[in-house]
Amino acid sequence: IGLTYGPLGECEDMRYVDPERTAAAIERWRDICVGIKVRQGGFQVGNNHVEPLRRAVEAGDYTNTPVMVHIAVGVPLPDVLAEMRAGDIVTHCYQGTGDGILSDQGDVLPVARKARTRGVLFDVGHGGGSFRFDIARAALARDFAADVISTDLHANNVDGPVYSLPETASKLLNLGVSLEEVVRQCTSAPAAAIGRPELGSLAVGSVADLAAFDIRKGGSFEFRDVAGEVLVGKKR
């Protein structure tokens, strides 16, 4: 659990990618472990292509948990999607480093649509290098909205461009996603994705973990993506 850092990606040395030990850790801490994350960019996997993902899926099969896959330049998305199961999650779906959901012509790859049809989920995962307005606009214009809105928030992006989940939700709101969909994608959709339907809902018997927000309208609000593009929106 966690990442190795330094001059090598965490999945370049396959000794660090152990399905059985991963499964054992999940079984030991079932109350807090809801899935498996694998980073499948070229920097992280080196010459190992999709073998880290295969091993993550093996651990997921052992434990009946979903696998979340970080996509980035260096490993073709069709090869990644071919290894994913229904319920597995592509994160950073609006990243623009390469090997993403769009073709060179700006269309959503047919393989991405086919993956969605068979149950693969797509997550925003806004991090310090993984959310671009131009990619999101193109996907939304082609009826390919994310299933889940989330952040990849950490010390190096909490002061921008990510800031927070509400800030990320505001970006999607100003890109044209309806308020109802933004709320769903931030609450019940991620809860369902991790197998915790008692969360993210106001249904009788659900966990009462509530937050109240005001939608500020009619203003002029600036939002930035990872490429430095500024979106001026009218609501937050």
At 159-184, the pLDDT tens digits run 999 999 999 999 999 999 999 999 99
Residue 6 pLDDT exceeds 80: no
Give this prediction's pTM. Answer: 0.95
Residue 177's pLDDT is: 98
- Largest separation between any pair of C-alpha atoms in the chain: 54
Long-range contacts, stretch 68-71, CB < 8 angstroms, 24+ apart: 68/35, 68/36, 68/37, 68/38, 68/123, 69/37, 69/38, 69/39, 69/40, 70/37, 70/38, 70/39, 70/40, 70/41, 70/44, 70/125, 71/40, 71/41, 71/95, 71/99, 71/100
Confidence of residue 188 (pLDDT cuts 50, 70, 90): very high
Q: Which residues pair with 196 in a beta bridge?
A: none
Side-chain half-sphere CA neighbours of 176 within 13 A? 11
Query: What percent of the chain has a predicted confidence (pLDDT) above 90?
Result: 91
At 65-106, the pLDDT tens digits run 999 999 999 999 999 999 999 999 999 999 999 999 999 999
Residue 8's pLDDT is: 81
Q: How, if at all, do strands 67-70 and 36-39 pair?
A: parallel
Mean pLDDT of all residues belonging to the chain: 96
The C-alpha atoms of residue 131 and residue 162 are separated, in whole angstroms, by 9
Confidence of residue 235 (pLDDT cuts 50, 70, 90): very high
Alpha helices by DSSP H, listed for the chain, are: 19-28, 42-45, 51-63, 77-82, 110-117, 133-141, 165-174, 179-186, 188-193
In 3D space, the residue among 118, 169, 128 whose CA is nearest the CA of residue 146 turns out to be: 169
Measure Cα distances from 106 to 66, 100, 103, 174 in Å: 29, 10, 5, 21
Q: Which residues pair with 12 in a beta bridge?
A: none
Residue 203 pLDDT exceeds 70: yes
Residue 7 pLDDT exceeds 80: no
At 16-47, the pLDDT tens digits run 899 999 999 999 999 999 999 999 999 999 99
The C-alpha atoms of residue 26 and residue 22 are separated, in whole angstroms, by 6
Residue 115 pLDDT exceeds 90: yes
Are the CB atoms for 89 and 81 separated by under 8 Å?
A: no
Right CATH number for 66-235 from 3.20.20.140, 3.40.50.300, 1.10.580.10, 3.20.20.70? Answer: 3.20.20.140
Ordered DSSP codes for 47-110 = T-TTHHHHHHHHHHHHHT--EEEE--TTS-HHHHHHTPPTT-EEE-TT--SSSSSB-TTSPBPH
Residue 164's pLDDT is: 98
Residue 1 pLDDT exceeds 60: no
